[in-house]
Structure 1
Amino acid sequence: MNANSINIKLHNILEIGDSHPPIIMGVLNLSPESFYQGSVYENEDALKKATMEMIKNGAKMLDLGARSTAPWSKKISVKEELDRMLPAMDIVCKNIPKDIILSVDTQYTEIAQKTLDMAKKYKKNIIINDVSCLKTDPSLKSFLIDNDIPVIIMASKKVPGDLCTLQEIISELKKTILKLKEKGYDEKNIIIDPGIGHWIEKKTYLYDLKIIGNLHELQVLNKPILV
């Protein structure tokens, strides 16, 4: 193993990093505001079927997101997000083995806490996936530290999906990592996300290809990368 290799073990279950094969994350979209309606699971049967198919196809993590972050989408309250997230999570928790980790796509501590409570009820493990780089809800940092919960942080300057150069991606991720470390958070619980995808008009496929082609630059942060 190279001295500079990047390897972590989430919840002492899932090994991720240079010494292991890439991990597949399945995405369970619960937001009807999403531009691609074919990705939205709005009933129990569809959600259960998608969950089982993703696991069958090799997914080791399942990401549940109940809020669209596209700038043109309707904004919803934390209560609305909860009302979508918790019933879906209940269904998923009942239908997955213990070694599958649930990624909770949220920017809010209230959502994180209630999904953690449900995960504990079913003896499942979660990771928080915050597309705001922990900027939307400052108290989420304390939640992560107090509960020793792993986190995926997506690069953003002010709002999720804003346009960042490669150096800005590295800089924003580094700032958040340092803030967590300063508060005693175990940095081996951190996964980074450069934030590719059509979040805004300026983020074209050419932008995405440039970031993907330079993912190796993110290795300076010494963290596993989610794309």
Structure 2
Amino acid sequence: MPDTRDSVFRTNSTLRLRGNLLDLSAPLVMGILNITPDSFYAGSRASNVETAVERAGQMITDGATILDIGGYSSRPGASAISLEEELDRVLPVIEAILHQFPDTYISIDTFRAEVARQSVEAGACLVNDISGGSLDDRMFETVASLQVPYVVMHMRGTPQTMKLLTSYENLLKELIDYFQQKVYQLRQANIKDIILDVGFGFAKAIEQNYFLLKNMEVFQILGLPLLAGLSRKSLIYKKLNIPVSESLNGTTVLNTLALTKGASILRVHDVKEAVETVKLFQAYND
């Protein structure tokens, strides 16, 4: 296995969160906390504020650098919810976690500009948008006004339609073109900290996901940090013909491969195991 620290594509970058600079030359772990009743992995769901705070505390203890809080399930075919319901789910959780753990870095997982705005005002310091701004034309100007980092993901359609939109003529070229266009728009809006997410499982068939993972280092040519969101997804449990509850081992394998391809952030349900994966990956490269 090559020493990925010295890759010609390696992006040595920093991420500014709440006035602090995080060094991304060592990969970070982002813990997933879903305030939803219908996210695809039941173990990620928190049905009330108390449960969310308890799980947040465990993730922090296990070594998560960022907690990613979402109130709208993005699993294929998920039911749409109103803006008000999404806000009612996430805002009390953000406030309660920061009351208990005031130094925590919180990301808001949303494609709605108003949810992003109110969440950042409540204490979140990063916006993670599965739609890359395509589902709310106010997202880029909102993030620019908030001056927080932004995760731009590739997806087609909506969570309700994306499974039907997996036809590509040239998958890598189309994603590179997509990100080049998005990054140009974000730079024009004066958004400084940008993270790229190729969107594993979003408008991609299983074979396309593996092709993207195999070629993930190509996206480093854009000079921006890469986030890998592979945790417990269907490319693992459907390929192995196992329940999602048994997909932790497969997640660890794919997270390790993502690290060799230049991932700077692992977005995961199982923080302890991901942190251990990063530590061993770093030890191997030292």
Indicate how the Cα distance of structure 1 residues 95 and 168 shifts in structure 2: closer, same or farther if over 3 A, else same: farther
More helix by share: 2
What's the CA shift for 1:91?
1.7
1:196 aligned residue (196, 200, 215): 200
8 Å contact from structure 2 (residues 68, 109) kept in 1: yes
Looking at structure 2, the residues matched to 209 and 71 of structure 1 have their Cα atoms a distance apart, in angstroms, of 18
Tell me which of 172, 184, 187 is aligned to 2:178: 172
Q: TM-score, normalised by structure 2?
A: 0.69
212-221 vs 68-77, which moves further: 68-77
Alpha carbon RMSD of aligned pairs, Å? 2.2
Residues in 1 aligned to 2:147 and 2:191: alpha-carbon distance in whole angstroms: 8
Q: What CA distance in whole angstroms lies between the structure 1 residues aligned with 2:139 and 2:109?
A: 13
User: Comparing both chains, which one has the higher relative contact order based on Cα–Cα distances under 8 Å and sequence gaps of 6 or more?
Assistant: 2
Contact 2:196–2:226 (8 Å) recurs in 1? yes
Task: Tell me the residue number matched to 1:181.
Answer: 187
**1:147 corresponds to:** 146
Among candidates 3, 7, 20, match of residue 13 of structure 1? 20
Q: Which residue of 1 aligns with 2:43?
A: 38
- How far off its partner does 1:22 sit? 0.6
C-alpha contact 1:62 1:102 (8 A) present in aligned 2: yes
Aligned to 1:214: 215
| CA-CA distance at 1:14 after TM superposition | 4.2
Q: Taking structure 1 as reference, are residues 156 and 51 closer, same or farther at Cα in structure 2, changes over 3 Å only?
A: same
SS at match of 1:59: coil
Distance 1:49 1:14, change over 3 A: farther
Residue 213 of structure 2: SS of its match in structure 1?
helix
Unaligned runs of 5+ in 1: 120-124
- What's the secondary structure of 1:27's corresponding residue? strand
Residue 126 (structure 1) aligns with: 125
**3-state DSSP class of the match of 2:15?**
strand
Post-superposition offset of 1:185? 2.7
Distance 1:16 1:208, change over 3 A: farther
Farther off after superposition, 22-31 or 36-45: 36-45
**1:84 counterpart = 2:83:** no
**Aligned counterpart, 1:122:** none
8 Å Cα contact 1:157-1:172 kept in structure 2: no
Query: Percent same amino acid at aligned positions?
Result: 28
- 1:27 alignment counterpart: 32
More displaced stretch, 1-10 vs 73-82: 1-10
One-letter amino acid of the counterpart of residue 13, structure 1:
N
Instruction: Say which SS state the counterpart of residue 25 (structure 1) adopts.
Output: strand
Contact 1:133/1:173, CA 8 A, preserved across alignment = no
The equivalent of 2:105 in structure 1 is: 101
8 Å contact from structure 1 (residues 156, 172) kept in 2: no
Residues 159, 175 of structure 1: alpha-carbon distance in 2 compared, 3 angstrom cutoff: farther
Q: Please tell me the residue identity of whatever aligns with 1:180.
A: L
> TM-score normalized by structure 1?
0.85
Alignment of 1:151-162 (within 5 A): 151-159=150-158, 162=165
The amino acid of 2:88's aligned partner reads: D
Structure 2: which 5+ runs fail to align? Answer: 229-286
